[in-house]
Amino acid sequence: MSSVSALSRSSLPSASVLARLVCAVALSCGASLHAADPQPAAAAESARPAIGAVLSDAQALVNSGQGAAATAKLQAVESMGPLNGYEAYMLQRLRAAAAMQENDLTRAQAAFEAVLATQRLAPAEQWQIMASLGQTLYRAKDYVASAKWLQRYAEAGGTDADVLALRAPASYFAKDYASARTLLVASTQADAAASRPTSLTTWKLLAGSQRQLNDDAGYRQTLRKMAIQYPQPAIWAELVQRELGEPSTWPERQLLDVQRLLRAAGALSGADHALSLAAQAQQAGFPGEAVKVLDEALAAPGVTEAQKAELAKQRLLAQRQAEADRRNRARDEAAARQARDGQGLVSLGWAWVTEGQTDTGLPLIAQGLQRGGLTRIDEARLHHGMALALAGQAAEARQTLSQVKGDPALVTLAGLWADFAERRTTAQP
Kindly report, residue by residue over 90-144, the tens digit of the pLDDT. 999 999 999 999 989 999 999 999 999 999 999 999 999 999 999 999 999 999 9
Give pLDDT, residue 9: 42
| Torsion angle (degrees, nearest 10) of CA 303, 307, 311, 313 | 140
pLDDT value of residue 321: 95
Q: In this structure, how many other beta carbons lie within 10 angstroms of the beta carbon of residue 186?
A: 11
Quote the pTM value: 0.81
DSSP state, residue 46: S
pLDDT at 13: 40
Per-residue pLDDT for 387 more than 80? yes
- pLDDT reported for residue 6: 36
Reported as a single tens digit per residue, the pLDDT across 237-269 is 999 999 998 878 887 888 999 999 999 999 988
pLDDT of residue 46: 84
Q: What are phi and psi of 14, to 5 degrees?
A: -75, 170
**What pLDDT digit, counting tens, does each position of 51-93 carry?**
999 999 999 999 999 999 999 999 989 888 799 999 999 999 9
pLDDT at 20: 55
Residue 375's identity, in one-letter code, is T
For residue 429, is pLDDT > 90? no
Task: Check if the beta carbon of residue 26 is closer than 8 Å to that of residue 63.
Answer: yes
Give the pLDDT mean for 355-378. Answer: 95
Q: What percent of the chain has pLDDT over 70?
A: 89
> By C-alpha distance, which of 206, 31, 45 is closest to 118?
45
- 422, pLDDT greater than 70: yes
Instruction: With CA atoms as reference, report the closest residue to 332 among 389, 399, 267, 285.
Output: 285
Radius of gyration of the chain (CA): 33
What is the Cα–Cα distance from 393 to 359, expressed in whole angstroms? Answer: 11
Band (426; pLDDT cuts 50, 70, 90)? low
Give φ, ψ of 175 to 5 degrees.
Answer: 70, 20
Predicted confidence at residue 45, as pLDDT, reads: 73
Residue 5 has pLDDT above 50, yes or no: no
CA dihedral 134, 139, 145, 148 (to 10 degrees): 30
Chain-centroid distance of CA 345 in Å reads: 43
Residue closest to 290 by CA, chosen among 351, 247, 379: 351
Residue range 160-217, pLDDT digits in tens: 999 999 999 999 999 999 999 999 999 999 999 999 999 999 999 999 999 999 999 9
Share of the chain above pLDDT 90, in %: 80
Contact 226, 201 (CB under 8 A): no
